[in-house]
């Protein structure tokens, strides 16, 4: 399958400035975004559970260039959302898709293999990984170290692609039951507040969550750093840090595809996706809408209807 | 003379030190490890590098430099008088469990904040009252490269005491007078036996061995100046960067800051907060011009500052300690080693020779 993917990229490359995919990074456990400019760069392409990054984050800043992008199912939803919002032009992007088996959560790997920073070699197959460190070898099934989003994946195949290689996979689940959220919300107000105050306390305000988000498109003009007006205090109290997360989540409502990049990018392992999950389920219930599936659809909060079907204002 | 401290006595020793110092040590927080005020019963995490180092203790992510208030002049209502109150609250602080790379980061801070024409009184007050007890690395991670930039797994720069973990305890060596006093002040520390010293030495030698061979970076300033206008090089190197601040905020040597006056009504405070050169706002000028409007310029600056401009101003001291946090915690695994070695290997165009 990887060979076919490489072939189709090589065939399209002459018409493109470059194609974004994944290559191996600084050690055998980490892939890294790979920019393929020349056919020989394509030989470094990898496909598998280490391809954790959502490369769609780069697309809006590449406007004006003609580029290719390799996507997992979840990444393709970000591309759709960007198309929907007119942030990228369809004719400037060539999308390469392949069926995704799920990707790893590095935090889970670090828990299963505390010596993950000393890894010497990694072998991956369809069902898992074998990680060898300077001291020992660990056999992990993909299921135990898989990113949470993959356990509830409904779209393992790209929802939009110009070139799709390999056989389409059946989705893991039919519906996302939001069980994680339900269990979190079964706690009382004080427990939930204490949870966030504890988690957000270690935030270093690097804004990796924001910059890894393919739909956080204010980029260099974010309210968190604007001086005039000065919306968000530069103080680093936990409330100030949390304030930004709330702003981020609210701006994502109805647009967020829950790709989880905010949480994955966080160097301090703060579970910020949960906030977006909450808004995702609210949007789903209120507007019967799932983001990033139809490039022609309009996100509910970017539109106005005199009367919303599920909001019975007049009965209030 | 080296001393020996049993593992079991470590908590007690830190409690003793707590009488004279506010003690910070690496502890688990969620899935991360960070330096926090130590209290007995808190589980230490000194078996690996902390996610974020101790730099925040001497250079806080946010500090109040002064408070100010405006008052109407009663004699002349058209005028406002400003009252300014300077905040200075440095206290004796002990940083326990830093790694030699972390401690070496303080060397860079010292260069920037205490040895230039403008002295940073806030930093100096904290630095003078700080004691640093570091732990030598006996095992090196994939992202470690302290030996590339002048450090070592058992380097002593910036530390007052260096501990080497051996079986069931630590061999403790004082580096400075301050460190000597720390070790002399407790009955928990015994003289280390020759066997213990030998064991420590062997472990440290093995750590040296485990690091990859260091490239010679002597030529880097020249190479980086040579590449200054080669934007194709920098665009390719920075292509995958998402311009967040994880690398700079986790970096033991990054010391850039911003200053903001936050005013509510007639009162307010002047805050100094960490800033990062990977952000577009970092060089945004009031005129609207931005000399580093694209990420390629910003990565060029980050690498240039560490491997060229800072060393030129500070006797060749590279402003990178090789801790590897910027690699390990980068959301896209951008590897500064790869950028610097690519810059080193880049063939510069031969200079035009007019005499030919």
* Interface-testing mutation among A75, A202, A213, with chain B (most B C-beta atoms within 10 A): A202
Strand partners, B162: B134, B173
- Give the Cα separation of B301 and B310 in Å (integer): 11
Measured CA to CA, the distance from residue A76 to residue A226 in angstroms comes to 31
For residue B289, what are the contacts with CB-CB under 8 A and spacing of at least 6?
A: none
Chain B residues whose beta carbon lies within 8 Å of the beta carbon of residue A111:
31
Cα separation, A57 vs A47, in Å, equals 19
Tens digits of pLDDT across chain B (356 residues): 799 999 999 999 999 999 999 999 999 999 999 999 998 778 899 998 999 999 999 999 999 999 999 998 889 988 989 999 997 779 999 999 999 999 999 999 999 999 989 999 999 999 999 999 999 999 999 999 999 999 999 999 999 999 999 999 999 999 999 999 999 989 999 999 999 999 999 999 999 999 999 999 999 999 999 999 999 999 999 999 999 999 999 999 999 999 999 999 999 999 999 999 999 999 999 899 999 999 999 999 999 999 999 999 999 999 999 999 999 999 999 999 999 999 999 887 765 544 44
pLDDT in tens, A250-306: 999 999 999 999 999 999 999 999 999 999 999 999 999 999 999 999 889 988 888
Is residue A307 very low, low, confident or very high in pLDDT (cuts 50, 70, 90)? confident
Q: Among residues 285-324 of chain B, which lie with CB inside 8 Å of chain A?
A: none
Peptide bond into A156 cis (omega under 30): no
Q: How far apart, in whole angstroms, are the C-alpha atoms of residue B266 and residue A295?
A: 51
| Interchain contact, A265 vs B34, CB within 8 Å | no
Cβ density class B239-253: b for 16+ within 10 Å, e for less: bbbbbbbbbbbbbbb
Q: Are A91 and A63 in contact (CB under 8 A)?
A: no
Measured between beta carbons, which residues in chain A are less than 8 angstroms from residue B280?
A: 219-220
Distant-in-sequence, close-in-space partners of B287: CB < 8 Å, separation ≥ 6:
none
Interface of B with A in 130-189 (CB under 8 A): 139, 141-143
Span A200-233, pLDDT tens digits: 999 999 999 999 999 998 888 898 888 777 888 9
Buried b (16+ CB within 10 A) or exposed e, A128-151: bbebbbeeeebebebeebbbbbbe
Q: H/E element holding B271?
A: strand B267-274
Q: CA A35 to CA A265: how far, in whole Å?
A: 20
State the pTM of this model: 0.94
pLDDT of residue A231: 85
- H or E stretch at B104: helix B100-114
**Half-sphere exposure in the Cβ direction for B188 (13 Å, CA):** 20
Q: What does residue B227 show for φ and ψ, rounded to 5 degrees?
A: -95, 5
CA nearest B44: which of B23, B61, B62?
A: B23
User: Domain extents for chain A?
Assistant: 1-103+150-173, 176-316
Secondary structure (3-state) at A173: coil
Check: CB of residue A235 under 8 Å from CB of residue B62: yes
pLDDT digits (tens, 9 = 90+) for A37-78: 999 999 999 999 999 999 999 999 998 999 999 999 999 999
* B262 in contact with A, Cβ within 8 Å: yes
Of A62, A52, A31, A44, the C-alpha closest to A5 is A44
Interface size A-B, in CB pairs within 8 Å, comes to: 135
Which of A215, A267, A272 has the most B C-beta neighbours within 10 Å, making it the best mutation to test the interface with B?
A: A267
What is the β-pairing status of strands B130-135 and B93-98? Answer: parallel
CB A59 within 8 A of CB A111: no
Determine the 3-state secondary structure of B333 from DSSP.
coil
Distance CA A300, CA A287 (A): 7
Break chain B into its structural domains and give their ranges.
Answer: 1-59+92-212, 215-258+275-348
Task: State the residue for tokens 């002399």.
Answer: B184
Neighbours of B163 (CB within 10 A): 22
Return d(Cα B222, Cα B318) in angstroms, integer: 14
Structure tokens at B250: 């986790």
Burial class, B347, CB count within 10 angstroms (exposed 0-12 / middle 13-18 / buried 19+): exposed
Q: Which pairing describes strands B161-166 and A163-164: parallel, antiparallel, or unpaired?
A: unpaired
- Find the angle CA(B16)-CA(B153)-CA(B206) to the nearest 5 degrees: 110
> CA B25, CA B97: separation in Å to the nearest integer?
6
The burial class, CB within 10 Å (0-12 / 13-18 / 19+), for A84 is buried
Element (H, E) at A74: helix A73-84
Radius of gyration of chain A (CA): 20
Q: Which residues of A touch B239 (CB under 8 A)?
A: 33, 35, 58
How confident is the model at residue B350, as a pLDDT? 65
Rg (CA), chain B: 23
CA distances from A87 to A57, A250, B156 (A): 11, 19, 52
Contact call for A206 and B61, based on CB within 8 A: no
Shortest alpha-carbon distance between residue A285 and chain B (Å): 32
Minimum-distance CB partner of B48 among A35, A57, A117: A117
> In chain A, positions 210-229, which contact chain B (CB-CB < 8 Å)?
210-212, 219-220, 225, 227
């Amino acid at each position: 399958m990887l060979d076919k993917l490489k072939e189709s990229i090589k065939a399209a490359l002459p018409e493109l400035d470059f194609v974004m995919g994944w290559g191996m990074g600084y050690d055998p456990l980490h892939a890294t975004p790979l920019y393929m400019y020349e056919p020989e760069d394509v030989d470094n392409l990898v496909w598998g559970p280490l391809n954790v990054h959502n490369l769609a984050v780069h697309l809006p800043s590449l406007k004006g260039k003609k580029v290719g992008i390799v996507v997992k199912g979840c990444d393709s939803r970000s591309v759709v959302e960007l198309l929907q919002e007119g942030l990228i032009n369809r004719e400037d992007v060539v999308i390469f898709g392949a069926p995704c088996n799920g990707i790893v959560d590095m935090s889970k790997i670090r828990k299963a293999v505390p010596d993950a920073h000393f890894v010497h070699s990694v072998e991956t197959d369809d069902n898992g990984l074998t990680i060898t460190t300077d001291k020992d070898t660990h056999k992990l099934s993909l299921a135990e170290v898989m990113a949470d989003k993959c356990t509830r994946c409904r779209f393992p195949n790209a929802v939009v692609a110009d070139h799709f290689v390999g056989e389409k996979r059946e989705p893991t689940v039919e519906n996302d039951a939001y069980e994680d959220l339900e269990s979190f919300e079964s706690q009382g107000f004080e427990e939930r507040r204490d949870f966030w105050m504890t988690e957000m306390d270690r935030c270093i305000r690097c804004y990796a969550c924001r910059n890894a988000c393919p739909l956080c498109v204010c980029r260099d003009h974010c309210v968190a750093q604007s001086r005039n007006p000065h919306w968000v205090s530069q103080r680093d109290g936990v409330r100030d840090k949390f304030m930004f997360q709330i702003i981020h989540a609210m701006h994502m409502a109805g647009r967020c595809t829950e790709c989880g990049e905010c949480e994955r990018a966080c160097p301090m392992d703060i579970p910020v996706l949960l906030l977006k999950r909450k808004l995702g389920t609210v949007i789903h219930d209120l507007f019967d809408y799932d983001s990033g599936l139809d490039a022609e659809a309009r996100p509910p909060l970017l539109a106005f209807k005199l009367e919303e079907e599920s909001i019975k204002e007049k009965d209030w | 003379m080296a001393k020996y401290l049993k593992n079991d006595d470590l908590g007690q020793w830190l409690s003793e030190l707590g009488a004279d110092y506010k003690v910070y040590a690496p502890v688990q927080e969620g899935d991360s490890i960070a330096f926090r005020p130590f209290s007995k019963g808190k589980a230490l995490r000194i078996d690996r590098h902390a996610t974020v180092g101790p730099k925040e203790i001497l250079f806080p992510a946010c500090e109040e430099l002064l408070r100010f208030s405006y008052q109407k002049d009663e004699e002349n209502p058209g005028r406002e008088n400003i009252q300014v109150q300077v905040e200075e609250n440095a206290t004796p602080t002990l940083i326990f469990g830093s790694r030699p790379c972390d401690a070496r980061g303080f060397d860079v801070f010292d260069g920037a904040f205490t040895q230039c024409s403008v002295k940073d009184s806030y930093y100096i007050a904290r630095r003078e009252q700080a004691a640093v007890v570091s732990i030598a690395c006996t095992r090196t991670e994939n992202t470690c490269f302290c030996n590339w930039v002048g450090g070592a797994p058992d380097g002593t720069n910036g530390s007052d005491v260096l501990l080497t973990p051996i079986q069931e305890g630590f061999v403790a060596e004082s580096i400075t007078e301050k460190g000597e006093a720390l070790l002399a002040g407790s009955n928990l520390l015994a003289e280390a036996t020759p066997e213990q010293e030998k064991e420590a030495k062997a472990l440290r030698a093995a750590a040296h061995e485990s690091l990859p061979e260091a490239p010679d970076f002597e030529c880097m300033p020249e190479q980086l100046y040579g590449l200054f206008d080669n934007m194709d090089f920098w665009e390719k190197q920075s292509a995958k960067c998402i311009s967040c601040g994880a690398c700079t905020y986790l970096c033991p040597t990054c010391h850039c800051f911003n200053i903001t006056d936050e005013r509510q009504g007639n009162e307010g405070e002047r805050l100094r907060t960490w800033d990062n050169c990977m952000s577009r706002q970092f060089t945004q000028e009031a005129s609207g011009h931005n000399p580093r409007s694209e990420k390629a310029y910003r990565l060029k600056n980050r690498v240039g500052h560490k491997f060229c401009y800072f060393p030129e101003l500070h006797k060749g001291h590279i402003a990178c300690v090789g801790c590897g946090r910027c690699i390990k915690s980068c959301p896209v695994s951008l590897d500064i080693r790869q950028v610097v070695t690519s810059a080193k290997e880049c063939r510069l165009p031969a200079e035009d020779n007019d005499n030919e």
